[in-house]
């Protein structure tokens, strides 16, 4: 998407990064920052990297707000894109990694950790989408999209 198209969609540029204004996106809230340092996309390959940050992330599905600040790093080399998820800060700690290779479905595995004081509020939601491995520790099953 060009800078003009991004601006028309309510996304502003700031120091080479794109920021979506704080607004409800579906049932999610927060501010999304996308930084693309160098990314080249061709028919069969990608080269470069990009970072997406979701700050003050929230959801209408939980009373805990914000859930945290998260960062997703994409590193593309040839026919494979590697993805790394990490928590910057917040009560819902998310970590994950995955990859997507040309001709194969993407895969991603992540864990969620919740401190004791938020387990009662976040536990029911996480049990719907993940497997609880121990008190406050959840594993989101490997996701493969086709």
Q: How much of the chain exceeds pLDDT 70, in percent?
A: 78
Longest CA–CA span in the chain (Å) reads 48
Cβ contacts of residue 53 below 8 Å, gap of 6+? 32, 33, 34, 35, 69, 70, 71, 72, 88
**pTM to 2 decimal places:** 0.78
What integer pLDDT is reported at residue 144 of this predicted model?
53
Per-block mean pLDDT, blocks of 10 residues, the chain (146 long): 39 50 61 92 90 94 93 95 97 96 89 96 91 94 57
Measured between alpha carbons, how far is 105 from 124 in angstroms, rounded to an integer? 29
> What are 35-45's pLDDT values in tens digits?
998 889 888 88
Answer yes or no: are the C-beta atoms of 53 and 88 closer than 8 Å. yes
3-state secondary structure of 36: strand
């Amino acid at each position: 998407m060009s800078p003009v198209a991004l601006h028309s969609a309510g996304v502003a540029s700031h120091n080479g990064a794109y920021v979506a204004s704080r607004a409800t996106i579906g049932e999610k809230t927060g501010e999304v920052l996308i930084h693309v340092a160098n990314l080249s996309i061709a028919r069969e390959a990608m080269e470069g990297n990009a970072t997406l940050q979701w700050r003050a992330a929230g959801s209408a599905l939980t009373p805990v707000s914000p859930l945290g600040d998260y960062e997703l790093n994409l590193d593309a080399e040839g026919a494979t894109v590697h993805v790394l998820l990490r928590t910057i800060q917040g009560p819902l700690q998310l970590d994950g990694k995955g990859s997507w290779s040309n001709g194969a479905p993407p895969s991603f595995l992540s864990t969620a950790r919740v401190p004791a004081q938020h387990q009662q509020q976040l536990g029911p939601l996480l049990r719907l989408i993940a497997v609880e491995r121990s008190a406050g520790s959840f594993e989101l099953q490997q996701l493969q999209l086709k």
